[in-house]
Structure 1
Amino acid sequence: MWSTGLYVATLLAICIIFMVSKRRNSRFNKAIILPPGSKGFPLIGETLQLLIPSYSLDLPSFIRSRIQRYGPIFQTRLVGRPVVVSTDGDFNRYLVQQEGRLVEMWYLDTFSKLFAQEGEARTNAAGLVHKYLRNLTLSHFGSESLREKLLPHLEDLVQKSLHRWSTQESIDIKEASLTMTIEFVAKQLFGYDAEKSKEKIGEKFAHISQGLLSFPLNIPGTTYHSCLKNQREVMDMMRGVLKERLASSETCRGDFLDHALKDLDTEKFLTEDFILQIMFGLLFASSESTSMTLTLIFKFLSENPHVLEELEAEHERILKSRETPDSPLIWSEVKSMTFTLQVINESLRLGNVSLGLLRKTLKDIEVNGYTIPAGWTIMLVTSACQYNPNIYKDPLTFNPWRWKEMQPDVISKNFMPFGGGTRQCAGAEFAKVLMTIILHVLVTKYRWKKIKGGEIARTPILGFQNGLHIELAQKDS
């Protein structure tokens, strides 16, 4: 009886071990079924292939060729890191809703070293920290602030900027609009005065933007080294302003920096360095994409006179409806510029200034029979759905009128120029309102012609081979 019992127990143990082993092997085998793709060269992976310029508004050839070979989700290696690239719209929309659960925000090393101080990568802030940062940004740049405070200042900024541009022989729209935006946002953040400051913050950010996708090789002579040098100079300038504020706390300007310094005692996660990080991030986010989209709008208007004609008609109607044509813009007028918004949306759709969103997986993620391991990076190519011919007919054609017929639910699912989910850009409305005001002043008071440039070059961020230079003149001159 004992031998029979021992035999049964042994057999049962073997069965249990076999089942556990099978389950573990199954889990292991399942985990190593990665999305198809190539890891490229040692260390650099396929970084060089990604950076090869493409000369179209379409997805970069790096993405298109791999979609044809591997499907909408594939793996690669960029700057030494394993990355899964997703052009699957449904999967991308799902992931942006899973912030803090399945994924968290992540940056390439070039971005992380720009935005982090002393090794403290708080740009990935989550939970209460992210909520605080979003509310703080919205309180200074959101709808209420735009309506109650910023609108007249923005119009004054645009009036002065376009007048200054018209006195020059020609201007590069990207550089000029980046400087204009940077200087305005810097003033709202920490009281920067472009006329009095020795530091030309706009020029420094122009150099910073050039090094964002360069290989992170920090030695003299490299683009990345120059990028970091300009970043340090901007941070030092802001640190000087912060120290002055702390030394004279009785002076209150009511700007972003004052607000953040006031919260130092109540918000435990806030530090002086973190406040500087936040301001630097806002300066970058507000300027780069806005200036590039504006450049694209000028290109499209130059190439599509019928769109410019419709735009001028909309703004002339607004002037004629006023008792005094030269009276300042009011909020209701801005919100009534429907065709202007269509022009901006169409430019954002086609521009896709940033190739996509970067997220880091917090746990293994199953998709289409593959596993994306925890700790990997996912590049959500949100621009792919904005070129989907099933959603946008003739997707590479500039057609602002298409937005008149599109339903809100279709737009929300297939148009994410400012990200999505809880990480959607808090400055989205600020950017649109600024572009709206620029177009209003432009088409009612100025005429222009393209001098040179305007040829698209993605690397993979949207850019122009020779900038876009225009000659601007007042209509009555």
Structure 2
Amino acid sequence: MDLWLLFLLVTSLLVVSFTHWVYRWRNPKCNGKLPPGSLGLPLIGETIQFLIPSKSIDMPPFIKKRKMKYGRLFKTNLVGRPVVVSLDPDFNYYVLQQEGKLVELWYMDSFGKLLNSDVTGTATGYIHKYLRNLVLNHFGPEALKANVISQLEETIDRKLQVWSKLPEFEVKKNSASMIFDITARMMFGYESEKSGENIGESFTDFLQGIISFPLDIPGTPYHNCKKNQKKALKLITDLLNERRDNPEIRKGDFLEQIVEEMKTHDFMTDEFCIFVMFGLLLASFETISATLVLAIKYLSENPSVVELLEEEHEAILKNRENPDSGLTWNDYKSSMTYTHYVMKESLRLASVAPGILRRVVQDIHVDGYVIPKGWTLMVVPSAIQMNPDTYEDPLTFNPSRWKNIGANTTAKNFIPFGGGARTCAGAEFSKLLMGVFLHLLVTKYRWEKIRGGEVGRSPALGFGKGFYIKLSAKQG
């Protein structure tokens, strides 16, 4: 009998403890009123619903359904983390300006582990500004204007020639590899032709693994990401050691400047610098390649847009004093008006990043609600850039819409490169690369879709069955 009573007592205590834990999960402490929404199941929250893929370019169904139910601000829980999702352009613009005051940089667990955010996450304040200036020295407008544009034209032209000799090719995989090679060469002199393995090809759809559950089990997207990460880290580590051991090597690249800066700044440890360079690689090739693929897909479906692009770029060729000269910075900035519309429209629809994340460092009061300190704030670019209140018929590819969209609108409603102090330092490099690619594509080649091209979100932009085209050189 005593054992039976003891069993009942222990069971009762467990039930009470579990019930209290569930209650606390669903009713977290808050110095005010939390935004509406649901925190889902204990431990996993609403992660499963968040990761359910869709077959539409529209904002993820997870976001769309909750926007209709709760409005532009709602709470949820992803991978055990309490999150407030904001779809309000004005609030997003304000809060992204509050870096270091109301919010700070934060990564999802899987992303944080791959970028070693325990090390790189210290890049706040002075260190972040310092690193940003380093990046701008090599990828900012002045560097691009001086020597990068000719390098881009030469490399892209060579890649297009190779692709044109194939019966067909998958655009995402090949463009990601090309962009990896371009960025890696600019950063640390990497040459895929001399490498035993084309590491760029290993990074196709890397973003899909980053936003998955961080389960390092063979066969999972995250496990594949970890394998590819190790290849890239080894490459960067070997190049860093080689450059340090051979100071006579002078390439004037990003790595050379890193090696010099490591001599005078204690925070520039090997680990820190290696993961910074890895993060820069990751940020460049995935976003640019996905946007390029989407642009080519929509161009394939809109021949009238291609005609306007051809007219603009043929005019650039005709106006050259020297027919053999390449693109100039002035061509890019002053003679590609419609091309910039195409790039903006592609970036708007792509919304490659599923969310911009910040950790709240002090309670934020908004619209009668409180976002508690320690919670995560998620800004969703696709929801902002697919908003029918801002963009008429938002799911339609319409580059001409940008003729009538001014800077006041884009400041809050067009955030493909983030916002505030953390706006991507490589934004101009990304746009220049796309501009050069489109110039060479429409002046030298024709293409046709072979198969694939279905677009969806999971919640990152993806091309489920790939996108295969046939590229043919123009005659004459």
Deviations 1:181-231 (A, max 9, x none): 101111111111111111322122226434112211112332212211221
CA drift at 1:298: 0.5
Matches within 5 A, 1:110-125: 110-116=110-116, 120-123=118-121, 125=123
Alignment match, 1:17: none
Q: Structure 2 counterpart of 1:433, which letter?
A: L
User: Of 331, 334, 338, which residue of structure 2 is paired with 1:333?
Assistant: 331
Asked if the contact 2:58/2:382 (under 8 Å) is kept, the reply is: no
Alignment match, 2:353: 354
Deviations 1:3-22 (A, max 9, x none): xxxxxxxxxxxxxxxxxxxx
Structure-2 change in CA distance of 1:29 and 1:105 (3 Å)? closer
Q: Structure 2 counterpart of 1:45, which letter?
A: G
2:436 is paired with a residue whose SS is helix
Alignment match, 1:170: 168
5+ residue gaps, structure 2, are 1-27
User: Of 275, 295, 298, which residue of structure 2 is paired with 1:297?
Assistant: 295
CA drift at 1:383: 2.9
Alignment match, 2:226: 228
Matches within 5 A, 1:310-389: 310-335=308-333, 336-389=335-388
Matches within 5 A, 1:74-473: 74-116=74-116, 120-123=118-121, 125-206=123-204, 208-335=206-333, 336-473=335-472
CA drift at 1:251: 2.2
Asked if the contact 2:207/2:460 (under 8 Å) is kept, the reply is: no
Structure-2 change in CA distance of 1:441 and 1:277 (3 Å)? same
Task: Give the TM-score normalised by structure 2.
Answer: 0.91
**d(CA) in 1 for partners of 2:473, 2:279:** 35
**More displaced stretch, 210-219 vs 464-473:** 210-219
**More displaced stretch, 312-321 vs 216-225:** 216-225
Q: Structure 1 counterpart of 2:86, which letter?
A: S
**d(CA) in 2 for partners of 1:167, 1:123:** 45
2:150 is paired with a residue whose SS is helix
5+ residue gaps, structure 1, are 1-27
Calculate percent identity across the aligned residue pairs: 53
Deviations 1:39-60 (A, max 9, x none): 1122221111111111222111
Q: Structure 2 counterpart of 1:311, which letter?
A: L
Deviations 1:372-415 (A, max 9, x none): 11111111113323222232221121111111122222222221
CA drift at 1:124: 5.2
Structure-2 change in CA distance of 1:365 and 1:466 (3 Å)? same
1:195 is paired with a residue whose SS is helix
Asked if the contact 2:87/2:383 (under 8 Å) is kept, the reply is: yes
**d(CA) in 2 for partners of 1:70, 1:413:** 21
Q: Structure 2 counterpart of 1:410, which letter?
A: T
Structure-2 change in CA distance of 1:56 and 1:208 (3 Å)? closer
**d(CA) in 2 for partners of 1:351, 1:80:** 28
1:125 is paired with a residue whose SS is coil
Structure-2 change in CA distance of 1:411 and 1:223 (3 Å)? closer
Structure-2 change in CA distance of 1:29 and 1:129 (3 Å)? closer
**d(CA) in 2 for partners of 1:128, 1:256:** 19
Structure-2 change in CA distance of 1:59 and 1:207 (3 Å)? closer
RMSD: 1.5
Structure-2 change in CA distance of 1:29 and 1:472 (3 Å)? closer
**More displaced stretch, 82-91 vs 223-232:** 223-232
CA drift at 1:30: 6.1
**d(CA) in 1 for partners of 2:222, 2:324:** 47
Task: Give the TM-score normalised by structure 1.
Answer: 0.91
Asked if the contact 2:171/2:467 (under 8 Å) is kept, the reply is: yes
